Amino acid sequence: MTLKLYDLALADPEVRISPFCWLAKFGLLHKGLDFETVPLRFTDKENYPDQDHGKLPILRDGDEIICDSANILAHVEKKYGGEPFAATAAERAAADFYQAWLGANLFSALGPMMFVRVHAAAHEADKAYFRKTREARFGKTLEEVAATSGLKDRIETALQTLSAPLVRHKFLGGDAPNISDYTVFSPFMWQRCVTSETLYETPQAVAAWQERMLDLFGGYGREAKRAA
Ligand SMILES: N[C@@H](CCC(=O)N[C@@H](CS)C(=O)NCC(=O)O)C(=O)O
């Protein structure tokens, strides 16, 4: 039976932005699994397979409903085996580091730039909900969040660090992509699907890795529809 991944969509149902959904999709692709995606908007909650969870991605695998990208990756690793997400303890340790680095250095600076842009591309029916929930989180308007000083510099500093492994290695996983690559690349898919603006300078080694990531799985990321 084909797996179904419930995937966050904007005004255009083909524009799928969520970094957590992207992580789950890269995980399914890495495992070579057939899956279909089902677009759901922020306020489509009655159609979420688990309304209590209320967030995407959610995976339906036969009778099983799996919520949260980390649980989805663990589920497919356990049930389907195949190419591991991290082959050794050293790769798992590196993946833990990249996840922590991402949260502290990239997400925390990219997120504030993105929310106002996600709002602009969201469905009319979602806009008020999106603004209210995110402004409650930050205690500021989306526009004030986007105007936080130093975001560009923080991202550029983070990307200088990220370029260190990528100068010497094709992927964060070494010669081939692993979970570290999917984890770190997913927020860049978020950005790519929401906006075509150049928001900051990207070091050459990082840009070249991003192109390799876009080419994976027959260009799955490259082909993804972007907001107009
Ligand atoms: N820890 C969760 C986070 C999922 C999450 O925050 N998803 C957001 C989209 S990026 C969402 O569905 N938000 C719905 C909402 O805000 O109502 C995971 O890794 O799957």
Instruction: List the residue whose alpha carbon is closest to atom 12 of ligand 1.
Output: 55
Mark 84-105 as b/e (b = at least 16 C-beta within 10 Å). Answer: ebbeeeebbebbeebbebbeeb
Residue given tokens 């990219």 in the structure block: 110
Structure-token pair, residue 225: 């529809």
State whether 39 and 94 are in the same domain.
no
pLDDT digits 0-9 by tens, 174-223 = 999 999 999 999 999 999 999 999 999 999 999 999 999 999 999 999 99
State whether 110 and 213 are in the same domain.
yes
Phi, psi of 50 (to 5 degrees): -130, 100
The pick from 23, 53, 56 for probing ligand 1's pocket by mutation, whose C-beta has the most ligand atoms within 8 angstroms, reads: 56
Q: What is the CA radius of gyration of the chain?
A: 17
DSSP bridge pairs for 60 = 4, 65
pTM exceeding 0.85: yes
Check which CATH number belongs to the domain holding 169 and give it.
1.20.1050.10
What amino acid is encoded at 82 in this protein? G
State whether 99 and 200 are in the same domain.
yes
State whether 119 and 174 are in the same domain.
yes
Q: Is the pLDDT of residue 1 over 90?
A: no
State whether 58 and 75 are in the same domain.
yes
State whether 95 and 175 are in the same domain.
yes
Answer yes or no: is 69 within a domain: yes
Residue 195 Cα to chain centre, angstroms: 14
DSSP 8-class letter at 176: S
State whether 62 and 28 are in the same domain.
yes
Answer yes or no: is 156 within a domain: yes
Quickly list DSSP for 132-164: HHHHHHHTS-HHHHHT-TTHHHHHHHHHHHHHH
**Distance separating alpha carbons of residues 176 and 172, to the nearest angstrom:** 8
Answer yes or no: is 196 within a domain: yes
Answer yes or no: is 150 within a domain: yes
Pocket (CB within 6 angstroms of ligand 1): 8, 18-20, 42, 54-57, 68-70, 133
State which residues form the domain around 47: 3-80
Answer yes or no: is 107 within a domain: yes
What percent of the chain is predicted at pLDDT more than 90? 99
Predicted confidence band of residue 2 (pLDDT cuts 50, 70, 90): confident
pLDDT of residue 138: 96
The pick from 16, 20, 135, 137 for probing ligand 1's pocket by mutation, whose C-beta has the most ligand atoms within 8 angstroms, reads: 20
Last residue of a domain, one of 80, 108, 135: 80
State whether 131 and 173 are in the same domain.
yes
Exposed/middle/buried for 69, CB within 10 Å: 0-12, 13-18, 19+?
buried
Are 47 and 13 a contacting pair, CB within 8 Å? no
Answer yes or no: is 193 within a domain: yes
Atom of ligand 1 nearest to the CA of 18: 10
pLDDT digits 0-9 by tens, 65-101 = 999 999 999 999 999 999 999 999 999 999 999 999 9
Q: How many domains does the chain have?
A: 2
Last residue of a domain, one of 80, 98, 130: 80
Structure-token pair, residue 105: 């250095």
pLDDT digits 0-9 by tens, 137-188 = 999 999 999 999 999 999 999 999 999 999 999 999 999 999 999 999 999 9
State whether 115 and 30 are in the same domain.
no
Check which CATH number belongs to the domain holding 76 and give it.
3.40.30.10
Structure-token pair, residue 34: 């057939």
Structure-token pair, residue 61: 């695998």
Last residue of a domain, one of 27, 54, 80: 80
Answer yes or no: is 228 within a domain: no
Q: What is the mean pLDDT of residues 117-133?
A: 98
Answer yes or no: is 63 within a domain: yes
State whether 123 and 72 are in the same domain.
no
Are 167 and 159 a contacting pair, CB within 8 Å? no
Are 153 and 60 a contacting pair, CB within 8 Å? no
DSSP bridge pairs for 35 = 3
State whether 133 and 179 are in the same domain.
yes
Going 200 to 7 to 33 to 73, the CA torsion angle's sign is positive
State whether 153 and 188 are in the same domain.
yes
